[in-house]
Each structure stands twice: as C-alpha cells, then as structure tokens.
C-alpha cells in the first residue's frame, strides 16, 4: 500500500466518523419533533426547548465540519454531490438555517411570526432535515445521476469535470425507495435518541412538567425505538443485497487513479466480512443499541449514552465499509466507469498529508466538546 492510498483510507475513515457523530448529535432534531405529542403545555415546551437549546450548535457545527472535511479530502465528490444534487442539499441546509434562529426568536415578545411558526420550523428541521440527510447518505450506495469528463479541464471555456444529467438536481433521489428507507432510519434514530435524551434529563428534575414529559417519553419510546430497530434491520439487509462496483486494481489499465470497475453482487456484505474489525465494530454498535433500548423500555432506566454510542459505532462501521476495499462509494447511474472511488476523487498527496498532521488535534477538540457538553448539561 502506498502512502497516498493509506491517506485516502485514513481520510475516508475521518469523514465516516464525522458522519456518525452527526447522526448521533441529531438527537436534537429528534427532540424537536417532541414539541407535538410530548410537550403539550407552554411550560412543557419551554422546558423541552431549554433542554435541547444547549446542544443544537453542536449538530450544526458537526454538519459544517463534515462538509468541510469532505470538500478538503475528496473535492470531486463534494463538487459532484453538493453541486449536482443542488436542490437536495439546499433544502437540507435551509432546514438547519431556520432551526438556528427559531430557538432565539420563539420566546421574543411581539415576534413577527409568532411562537407556533417557530415551533413549526423546529418540527420541519426535525423531520425534513433528518430524512433528507439519510437520503443524501444513501446515494453512497444507490448512486447519482451524474456524468464526468476530466478532459474538460484542458478546455478553458468548459472546465466542468462532473455535471448532473437531469434537471431535477437531486430531487429525484428523494423518491427512490432505498434512499427513503435510510432517510426514515436516520429520522427514527434521531427521534429515539431525542426521546432518550429528554427522558434522561427530565427524570432527574422535579415538577409536574418534567414528570409528565418523562412519562410520555417512556411511552413514545416503545413505538419509536422498536420502529427504529425494524427499519434499521431492513436497511442493513437491503444494503447487503445491493450490487457494488469494485476497482480492478490488478488490471493493466489501472494507473493508480483510474481503472476498470466491475459489478459485484453482495459487495457490501463481502466488504464487511473482509474487514473483521469493521464487522466487530458494527456488531458491538448493534448490541449496544439493543441493550440501551432494552434497559430503557423494559427496565425504565435511562440509557441515552449507551444507545448513542451504539448508533455512533454502527454508523461509523457502515460508512467506512462503503468506501474501503476499492469500492466505488458514489457510482454514476449514467456511466459506471465514471464512478467515484477513493483513488480518483481525493485531494493531492500534499494536501492529504498536511491535513493528516492537522487531524492530530482532533482528540483535543473532542475533549473540548466533552467539557462544553458537561458544562452545558449541568445548567
């Protein structure tokens, strides 16, 4: 393995970990959906928003960091997906933008739009934002409607490398059953974690509002948690049955960047089994999720951190599995041979190497986030 390819694998793992962290932190979005059905009175809504309002910035920051890491390490993917599936990503970003000011302005006296409007914004972010992020991530497996011509780089008047081949610009991806399935999984994961987090906080508080919210969270969890497990199992089965496209690195046509791609049935299952440590991380994550839900639903005890860690590990393993092993992680539905792989879509060796040194600061960033989390939760 060359240093360049090692760094490509390394940065795909970093992007995958950031993606998993984003899914975990979307418990804030899931918690926002509790404004209807769980929080009923004004006091209960204030309490719920007070619990979630300390954490929403972490989700937004992680989303931006995920996009920034993808741009810096795999710019061709960034330009193809974010630039091609334009409307899909615009709707996602808008759903997070309306969240960012809703916490601040909902309680302002004589606000222009009224409390109900800002609550609706938070609900839209909790539903639309989570589902569409799942749809976008699902394209790692289901592919996108783009074409590519690197020779355009030699033409000053037309230097666009990749472009979308229809006028829907990503909206068509929402209606693919496989993409929508993962969207529902992410939504249910966020709502499940939201229920667990709010229950974890309110069960420690005194007062009728906290007691009523905790009781309703426990009741809702029995439906949402089970639904999350069932939809997640359905997604994993569908993923393992999918055909993937693997670079033939043994072909004389492979030049270290581009090479022929061959269809491979059950490619993602094969990839998971070929990396035992990834399979182990995935299984540990699944066991932790099941254990956390069992502890919460059956025993009535808080298990937010157990379930959250399980979600983080399972999602990390799935995302790493999608890009490693010479698989195309975002294949073209227009021409399979134009598909994106770690080989042909990454930044230069110099860029990846420089960023690798910068990434050594990540543990300190994580420690800082943990410190801020603890301080915010204490209040």
Query: Could you write out the DSSP letters of every residue in 149-186?
Result: -GGGGG-TT----EEESSSSTTGGGGG-HHHHHHHHHH
Which residues are CB-contacts of 300 (< 8 A; sequence separation ≥ 6)? 218
290 or 83: which leads in pLDDT? 290
Cβ atoms of 53 and 103 closer than 8 Å: yes
15 or 156: which leads in pLDDT? 15
Mean pLDDT within 220-238: 95
Q: Which among 57, 125, 23, 45 is positioned nearest to 373, based on CA atoms?
A: 57
Question: What is the predicted pLDDT for the residue at 360?
Answer: 84
Q: Tell me what percent of the residues of the chain surpass a pLDDT of 70.
A: 97
Mean pLDDT within 262-289: 96
Cβ atoms of 54 and 117 closer than 8 Å: no
Q: Which among 230, 242, 218 is positioned nearest to 189, based on CA atoms?
A: 230
Which residues are CB-contacts of 94 (< 8 A; sequence separation ≥ 6)? none
Examine the pLDDT at 11 and tell me if it is beyond 80: yes
- pLDDT band, very low/low/confident/very high, at 159 (cuts 50, 70, 90): low
- DSSP element (H, E) containing 123: helix 115-124
Mean pLDDT within 300-322: 94
Mean pLDDT within 338-365: 88
Which of the given ranges, 46-60, 80-94, 176-190, has the highest pLDDT on average? 176-190
- pLDDT band, very low/low/confident/very high, at 158 (cuts 50, 70, 90): low
Question: What is the predicted pLDDT for the residue at 151?
Answer: 64
Examine the pLDDT at 204 and tell me if it is beyond 90: no
Mean pLDDT of the chain: 89
- CA dist., res. 140 & res. 118, Å (int): 33
- CA dist., res. 112 & res. 219, Å (int): 35
Cα–Cα distances (Å) from 137 to 91, 133, 222, in that order, read 15, 6, 27
- pLDDT band, very low/low/confident/very high, at 320 (cuts 50, 70, 90): very high
Mean pLDDT within 176-203: 95
Residue with tokens 């991380």: 281
Question: What is the predicted pLDDT for the residue at 155?
Answer: 62
Cβ atoms of 187 and 104 closer than 8 Å: no
């Amino acid at each position: 393995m060359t240093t360049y390819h090692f760094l490509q694998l390394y940065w795909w793992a970093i992007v995958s970990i950031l993606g998993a962290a984003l899914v975990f932190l979307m418990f804030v979005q899931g918690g926002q959906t509790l404004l209807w059905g769980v929080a009923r009175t004004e006091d209960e809504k204030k309490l719920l928003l007070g619990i979630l309002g300390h954490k929403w910035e972490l989700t937004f920051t992680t989303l931006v960091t995920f996009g920034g890491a993808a741009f810096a390490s795999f710019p061709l993917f960034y330009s193809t997906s974010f630039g091609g599936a334009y409307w899909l990503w615009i709707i996602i970003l808008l759903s997070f933008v309306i969240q960012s000011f809703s916490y601040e302005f909902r309680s302002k006296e004589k606000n222009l739009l009224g409390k109900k409007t800002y609550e609706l914004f938070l609900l839209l972010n909790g539903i639309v934002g989570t589902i569409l992020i799942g749809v976008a991530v699902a394209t790692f497996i289901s592919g996108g409607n783009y074409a590519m011509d690197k020779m355009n780089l030699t033409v000053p008047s037309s230097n666009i490398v990749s472009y979308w081949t229809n006028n829907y610009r990503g909206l068509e991806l929402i209606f693919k059953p496989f993409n929508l399935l993962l969207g529902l999984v992410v939504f249910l994961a966020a709502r499940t974690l939201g229920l667990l987090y709010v229950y974890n906080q309110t069960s420690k508080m005194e007062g009728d509002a906290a007691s009523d919210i905790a009781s309703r969270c426990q009741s809702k969890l029995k439906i949402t948690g089970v639904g999350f497990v069932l939809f997640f199992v359905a997604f994993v089965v569908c993923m393992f049955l999918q055909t993937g496209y693997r670079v033939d690195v043994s072909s004389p046509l492979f030049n270290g960047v581009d090479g022929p791609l061959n269809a491979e049935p059950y490619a993602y299952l094969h990839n998971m089994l070929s990396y035992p440590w990834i399979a182990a991380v995935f299984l540990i994550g699944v066991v932790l999720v099941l254990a956390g839900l069992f502890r919460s639903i059956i025993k009535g005890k808080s298990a937010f951190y157990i379930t959250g860690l399980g979600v983080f590990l399972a999602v990390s393993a799935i995302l790493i599995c999608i890009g490693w092993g010479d698989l195309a992680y975002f294949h073209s539905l227009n021409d399979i041979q134009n598909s994106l792989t770690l080989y042909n879509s990454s930044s230069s060796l110099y860029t990846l190497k420089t960023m690798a040194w910068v990434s050594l600061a990540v543990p300190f960033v994580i420690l800082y986030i943990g410190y801020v989390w603890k301080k915010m939760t204490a209040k």
